[in-house]
Chain A
């Protein structure tokens, strides 16, 4: 597929523009609220709610026989929340840990959803076609009415995040302290969690219930690598989410059999991988380089200081010494000596070394006895 052809289509084709708008908005909302889910260690919530939402969606269709996005939204929210409440309840009231109760509830709800889905598909009602796109997501099935719903609910969520920015930040960082300042922590928690649930449900049609939790968390995890400010992180996560959404849409529209969810999630994951390796502050690559440089410079310093101690025992610092004296000190290496020579700190001649004036002065400065003078 040619990206430029896609972009020219994006501006000329009404349907494609509508669908793209929907997925981009969905991506932004997921990135923004996913950041809070990540920071509050509510990562598992995404998985639970998205899987638990499936029976709600199918039931909404079975009861009404129509594919109204608002009804799907309502059904998904209700059953998603029911699943989440069960998980929290089981963990709080039994000896089962959260991961166990999550696994149980998630499978039960998802299984129920699949059962209902197969029942619906056997019915003669032609209207049911496309309902299975909720499994792996299909951006191409987005109608104008779906996009309107995503826009209304998504923008509403973003506005709420902006309005309660200070409160959500405080809640995420230090909830107990927020309570002592007089904020209604329970209320805030319910509000923020509901917004996260809304973000998950908005993404279901494009990303699908199976992969939705990755859509929630991947943009946020990638964004966290690039910044140490909450505002920038949330903004970046939104952009990453939008990008992933757009990529998924491109694939989905050009081959209508391709499920969108996997493409969206793979592109979001690619962003995570790139961020984890190449981000300047927290990235593994630069961390490793810093570590290596630091070790190397420490080794040079240590070798130089040993040389300084040997040299200062003589009256003339430039008195040559045999390299073999250094054998007692295990830190040095041939490479290290050559590096010191390249920096004009020592002169190597055959099997001897001597400090240059520069080397002597630097070693004198570095020497612990002379520190702070």
Chain B
């Protein structure tokens, strides 16, 4: 059977200063999976997606999205950064942030028009935030802010979605709502790659997983790869994966 890969990473090495954060990563992400990137703090999870998205420059390695370099395939890719990466006291409202997702398609200088507005409203509705569209973003709860970021990515109408800890600081209801949206995306043939922290929910949420600790430990379907043995190799031998049995 021939698999089509949405993302291919070859020999990727990244270092911020002297110590490598990622070492020699080879990774093929098949189209249409909902994949978790799991690993301890400092394992380079965020760095991996930042390198794929060309936000950090790798020391070495090759990355392609559907067979071509990222800069030729931007329109196929959407990104949900960590919620803490921006200043939520910025003077703007929810709908305005969501409409930023259309800026890439618009390109330089052109302003969003009625089509972009419609797309933003649809995305807001999809994440259940339509009634909050005029709310100043600092007045939103953590979960609502996360939904706004998700809506901004949905507006991009991409094929591959990268999300950096979308469940961080959100309550159980929002977490359920978000995972449902991610599953819907997969249903529609999109590929979703999520940096994830909570090991317990991995089998329920995801069908594909990459275990990472500077080096790639394993990658593949959750039921094959997400084993006690692999987790111990990722987190160290002291790690007691009791929750999983």
Contacts and interface: CB of A to CB of B under 8 A. Distances in A.
Contact of B74 (A180, A232, A233): A180
A65 interface: no
Nearest to B107: A182
B40 interface: no
A182 B86 contact: no
Identify the 4 closest CB pairs spanning chains A and B, nearest first: A181-B104, A228-B136, A180-B79, A182-B74
A182 B92 contact: no
Contacts of B25: none
Contacts of A172: 90
Contacts of B109: 163-164, 166-167
A173 B87 CA distance: 7
B55 A166 contact: no
Contacts of A224: 91
Given A176-B81, A180-B53, A232-B91, 7 more contacts: A165-B111, A177-B100, A178-B103, A182-B104, A183-B108, A224-B91, A228-B91
B97 interface: yes
Contacts of B107: 182
Nearest to B49: A180
Interface string A212-238: 000000000000100111101100000
B85 A174 contact: yes
Contact of A177 (B81, B91, B92): B81
Contacts of A167: 103, 108-109
Nearest to B112: A166
B92 A179 contact: no
A32 to B, nearest CB: 14
Q: Among B103, B109, B112, B138, which residue has the most Cβ atoms of chain A within 10 A?
A: B103
A90 interface: no
A180 B100 contact: no
A270 B110 CA distance: 38
B198 interface: no
Contacts of A233: 91
Contacts of A232: 91
A224 B92 CA distance: 11
Interface residues of B, number: 29
B93 A180 contact: no
A179 B90 contact: no
A315 to B, nearest CB: 41
Contacts of A180: 53-55, 74, 77, 79, 104
B108 A228 contact: no
B85 to A, nearest CB: 7
A62 interface: no
A284 B138 CA distance: 17
A196 B155 CA distance: 32
A356 B63 CA distance: 74
Contact of A179 (B54, B87, B93, B110): B54
B245 to A, nearest CB: 39
6 contacts: A173-B86, A173-B87, A179-B54, A182-B104, A227-B91, A229-B91
A182 B79 contact: no
Nearest to B86: A174
A179 B100 contact: no
Interface string B64-85: 0000000100100101010001
A170 B103 contact: yes
Interface string B101-140: 0011011111110000000000000000000000010100
A174 B100 contact: yes
Contacts of A71: none
A142 interface: no
A173 B81 contact: no
Contact of B81 (A39, A163, A166, A174): A174
B10 to A, nearest CB: 21
Contacts of B112: 166
A96 to B, nearest CB: 17
A170 B100 contact: yes
Contact of B91 (A39, A166, A176): A39
B185 to A, nearest CB: 18
Contacts of A230: 90-92
Contacts of B55: 176, 179-180
Nearest to B100: A170
A36 B79 CA distance: 25
Nearest to A164: B109
Nearest to B110: A166
A178 B54 CA distance: 12
Contact of A173 (B100, B104, B108, B138): B100
Nearest to B109: A163
B217 to A, nearest CB: 27
Contacts of B54: 179-180
Contact of B92 (A163, A164, A228): A228
